[in-house]
Structure 1
């Protein structure tokens, strides 16, 4: 490694829920590191995906979708965004959904005005907009709000424009040694991703409020035991009435969840696992500081 010419840094993805940040992260990093569903607010914590080459290492940071916090869990999600864009970033990629109402971005735009690093604008879902004039007007409106270093029109879902974005991100990174060893693709343990992929399938299988009321806790994780590889996970819900919904009639719903989650985990980890799921009622855990801290969230009181 020629450290004098090596580029390394952190590129933070910021945007509203369902703007496509997780899809873009997976596209840029070349893997399925972040859970992707058609429901907003799937990501709850910052997820790092490391892309490296002979002369660069970019740490892409997927943040939760920016929202107005209504309970303590969402306060921790907003805190993740604040720390990422203000403390961690060498570059912010502001991802805007071309099909959504841009005015909803106003609170996030105010936060982005306070960052000291360059901001790239990525206008996403351009494949769903037929009139180029609509994209031109959106870009002009955003540039009136923020100092934008470079603009990219992309479709994270089909890859349009994402390679150009990635190359520009690499070029913008500061000269620096790598932050992580070559070949490392994330800073998270495998058990974190096992929990994330179980939760991803909960979002895909269940409706309304139930997915948002769940937390997945990995109670046991054994590996390198061949056919005896085993994961036992507790799915925490807030109310007794949610437990039978997750389990389903005769256990049919949780059996389908287990099958799908196990397949996703095995594809990601590259080895077979036996997955066991239990449903636990933890009343009001999303708004309980002690529960949130036990589950690994950083809780900061709002001032």
Structure 2
């Protein structure tokens, strides 16, 4: 039994055994693909673009993705199960940083192919460390050079990639712009061709194995990342306390925004509650668009000192390996 969210906006809040997919053609392919990279290279934007659905939350801040997100892309020739992972980063000393790195590493053990995502024209020590980690994986490795539309000197990309390819063993290199949805079809076709011949795992309309409750919490957290300054959004997490479909067709959601200090609580609430009201209004609109129905959202802000460096609290808030 699991939770599933469907492409047509019909989510399932109760445990649901998904329908068996139709019998595929003999050459139908299916497999799991990890999208990996250092923080803020555009993995979540790439996932959303590849599946044609805004599943993962996105912000300009690194480490926006904190969980393993599965995005399902089903076509006539196959089913690609994309796994969006937290950005691998070095130097994080808090328990949450270690947890996110463990989640990203664990995703590599269950996939049939890995796509390392980097920024056009940039190869950093973090990129190199991740490449070294991938070297031990006995699966195809593709390189997706993202944000090519933002490269000032596009002519410089050719020697950059040539030097990179000469010293690193990628099976193929793809130029993409996830934001503008450019270069995605060749990447998708290459991925599918390298996956094993295997029946589909999910039904044709299923888009993720995450529940609406999880997606609601992520929409609130996205607004925190977009609207709060400096380190405050990194000290926040969201817990859904109530998620109920009422008889009037409205989904009632109660959510707690946890922070680590009283001063952060005041910032999240804002003068006269203005900041919290804006966060709630924007998150509610996103949920209504995602779920396809009216949402009543109630937010509270509470303090739990040191939650991000406490393994027990991390498990409570869903940060499991």
- Is the shorter-chain TM-score for this pair beyond 0.5, marking a shared fold? yes
Query: 1:199 offset after TM fit, Å?
Result: 0.3
CA distance in 2, matches of 1:257, 1:151: 39
Q: Is residue 242–residue 253 contact of structure 2 (8 Å, CA) maintained in 1?
A: yes
Aligned mate of 1:50, from 72, 86, 90: 72
RMSD: 1.4
1:163 aligns with 2:163: no
The equivalent residue for 2:57 is 35
TM-score computed with the length of structure 2 as normaliser = 0.89
Closer/same/farther in 2, CA of residues 119 and 225 from structure 1, 3 Å limit:
farther
The equivalent residue for 2:153 is 131
CA distance in 2, matches of 1:240, 1:145: 50
Q: Is residue 250–residue 293 contact of structure 2 (8 Å, CA) maintained in 1?
A: no
Flag structure 2 segments of 5+ consecutive residues without an equivalent.
1-22
Aligned mate of 1:180, from 192, 202, 215: 202
Query: 1:224 offset after TM fit, Å?
Result: 5.7
Which structure is richer in relative contact order (CA contacts within 8 A, separation 6 or more)?
2
Residue-pair matches, total: 298
The equivalent residue for 1:70 is 93
Deviation readout 1:196-224 (Å, 9 max, x if unpaired): 11100111111111110111000000126
Q: Is residue 35–residue 115 contact of structure 2 (8 Å, CA) maintained in 1?
A: yes
TM-score computed with the length of structure 1 as normaliser = 0.94
The equivalent residue for 1:24 is 46
The equivalent residue for 2:213 is 191
SS, match of residue 59 in structure 2: coil
Q: Is residue 32–residue 112 contact of structure 2 (8 Å, CA) maintained in 1?
A: yes
The equivalent residue for 1:223 is 245
Which consecutive aligned stretches of 4+ in structure 1 deviate over 6 angstroms post-superposition? none
The equivalent residue for 1:294 is 316
Q: Is residue 113–residue 146 contact of structure 1 (8 Å, CA) maintained in 2?
A: no
Closer/same/farther in 2, CA of residues 215 and 173 from structure 1, 3 Å limit:
same
Q: Is residue 14–residue 93 contact of structure 1 (8 Å, CA) maintained in 2?
A: yes
